[in-house]
Structure 1
Amino acid sequence: MAALLSLSPGSVINQPATSHQSRKTIVCRRIARIRCGKASPSTDSSAKQDEEEETGNNALLKLAWYGSELLGVAASLFRPPREVESPLKGVELARDGSGTLDRSVVVQAIKQDFQRSYFVTGNLTLEAYEENCEFADPAGSFKGLRRFKRNCSNFGLLIQTSNMKLTNWEDFEDKGIGHWKFSCIMSFPWRPILSATGFTEYYFHPQTGRVYRHVENWNVPKMALLKQLLRPSRSSSKTKAPE
C-alpha cells in the first residue's frame, strides 16, 4: 500500500502505454517467428534445381556406366585376352568346424586380389564371394559374381596402363573396409587419365563367411570421374599411370 501511494501521477498515466508496447512487441515476435518458419520461394526453387541437377547427373553417370560395360564386351570380341593369371577357381579357403570360412583367410585373399589389380583384371578369389554377391558403386548396382568378373576383365581391355594399391584395411564386426588409390590411362585415342582414391566395403555373410556385398565408394564427385574420362591427356603411349 505504501508503495502504491508513493507513485506519482505521471507514473499512473504512463502504465497503459507500457502495457500496449508489450503487446505490440509480442505480436511482432510472433510475426517474425512465422516468417522465419516459412521457406522463401527462392529457397524452394534452389533446392528443387539442385535435386533436378543431381537426378540428371545420376542418369548421365548410369548411361556412361552401362556404355562402358557394353564397350568392354565389344572390346573382348576383338582383342585377345591379356596374359594374366587365371582366376583362382579351385582355391579352397580354410573353414571352421561349422563350414564357415575363416574371416582372416578371406581378408588375406582380398588383399592378395588387390596385388593382382582385380578391379581391372578380374583375377579375384572366387571362393571368397557368394555367387549372387551384390556389387555396387556410385553409378549403380547389380548381383552376380560372374558378371562382376567379366566386367572387370573387359574393363582391363580398355586400359593401357594402370596402378592400384591397397593403402589401408579396417576390420569391423560385420564387414571389412579396404582403402585404395587407383589410376590408369585409357586406351582411347585421346588417352584420358582416370585417377581417384576411395574405399570398398566387404560385407561378410554370417553363415558362410563369404562376401555377399561389395560396395565401392569413390572420394571424388561422380561427375568429376566422367569429366576425367572425356578430358584428353598429353601423355605418350609409353607413359605410365600416375601413382
Structure 2
Amino acid sequence: MAPSSTAKPSALPSGSHLSRAELHQSVRRSHVFLRKQSHRRRLAGVVRAAPEAPSVVRAAVGAITELLRALSPNKKPRGDAGGAEPGPPLGGVEDVVAVLEDDYRRAYFLTGDFTPSIYAENCLFEDPTIKFRGRSRYSQNLDLLVPFFDSPSLELENIEKGSRVETKFVKATWKLRTYLRLPWRPLIAIRGNTTYDLNKDYKVIRHSESWDVSALEAIGQIFVSAPEQQKGS
C-alpha cells in the first residue's frame, strides 16, 4: 500500500494544505461512513463496496496522506530514486525475479528498502486506491509511510513468471500485516498480489497491486483500533 502524496481528492478542500480543523473533520466524516458501511455489510452477510465508495476512498486517502505528512518525523526524503544508481544488469526475467525475492526478504513495502534500478523512471504504480507514475514518487511515498509501521511483517507466498501478448511479467503473492503508530493503533492485515510488467530491457514499467479486500475495507482498517477489529472478527 503506497498512497500518493500528490492525490487531490474531490471531497477535500482545494489547496496544497489542510487546516487542522478541516483535516480533523474530513477524517471524522470518513471514519463514521466506513463504520456504518462495515456494520451494514455484517448485517447483510455480503461484502460489497458502496456505490459512493470511490469518492469516499479518495477523500480518505487524501486525509490520511495529509495526516501522515503532518505527523511524520521525516521532514526530508532520504533520497530521490529518480536518479537511481545502475543496478546489476538484467539479462532476463530470472534476474528480475532474483532481485524481487531479495526485496521481499527485506520487506520492501514496509521498510522502503527496495531496488529502484529495476524500475523504469516513469513506471506506473497502482493499487485499488491510487494510481501515479514515477519511481521517485514511489520512493517518497514509502519514506512517508515507513515511520508509522509498528511490528510489520511481509511474507512472500509465491512468485512466478508469465507473459501476455508481447509483455513478460512477474507476479508475486504476499501477506502483509502491521500495526500503525497512530493513537488508536490500528492493525492492517491484507493478502494480495503484485504484478510487475516488464519492457524489452526487463525494467518494470507497471507495478500493480490487487488485494483480497475491497479498497473501502482496506481504508476502513485504518480507522478502527486493533482491539475493536479483533472484537468484530
Q: Which TM bucket (shorter chain)?
A: 0.5 to 0.7
- Considering only CA atoms, is the larger Rg found in Structure 1 or Structure 2? 1
Structure with the higher fraction of residues in helix conformation:
1
> Which residue in 1 is equivalent to 2:68?
72
> Which residue in 1 is equivalent to 2:192?
198
1:233, distance to aligned residue in structure 2 (A): 2.1
> Which residue in 2 is equivalent to 1:214?
207
Of the candidates 154, 158, 163, which is equivalent to residue 153 of structure 2?
163
Post-superposition CA distance 1:198-235 (Å, at most 9, x none): 000100012x2100000000111222212211111239
Q: CA RMSD in A?
A: 2.8
Task: Work out the CA distance in 2 between the residues paired with 1:52 and 1:137.
Answer: 16
**Contact 1:69-1:151 within 8 A present in 2 as well:** no
1:69, distance to aligned residue in structure 2 (A): 2.9
Post-superposition CA distance 1:24-80 (Å, at most 9, x none): xxxxxxxxxxxxxxxxxxxxxxxxxxx9932x111111222233333333344x348
% identity of equivalent residues: 25
Write out aligned runs for 1:1-243 (5 A).
53-54=50-51, 56-76=52-72, 78-79=73-74, 89-90=84-85, 92-95=87-90, 101-173=91-163, 174-206=168-200, 208-234=201-227
Matched letter for residue 94 of structure 1 = P
- Where 2:220 maps in the other structure, the secondary structure is helix
Greater relative contact order (Cα < 8 A, sep 6+) = 2
Task: Work out the CA distance in 1 between the residues paired with 2:108 and 2:63.
Answer: 21
**Contact 2:128-2:214 within 8 A present in 1 as well:** no
After TM superposition, the runs of 4+ consecutive aligned structure 1 residues lying more than 4 A away are none
Structure 2, unaligned runs of 5 or more = 1-47, 229-233
Structure-2-length-normalised TM-score = 0.67
Decide whether aligned partners of structure 1 residues 75 and 106 sit closer, same or farther in structure 2, where only a CA change above 3 A counts: farther
Structure-1-length-normalised TM-score = 0.65
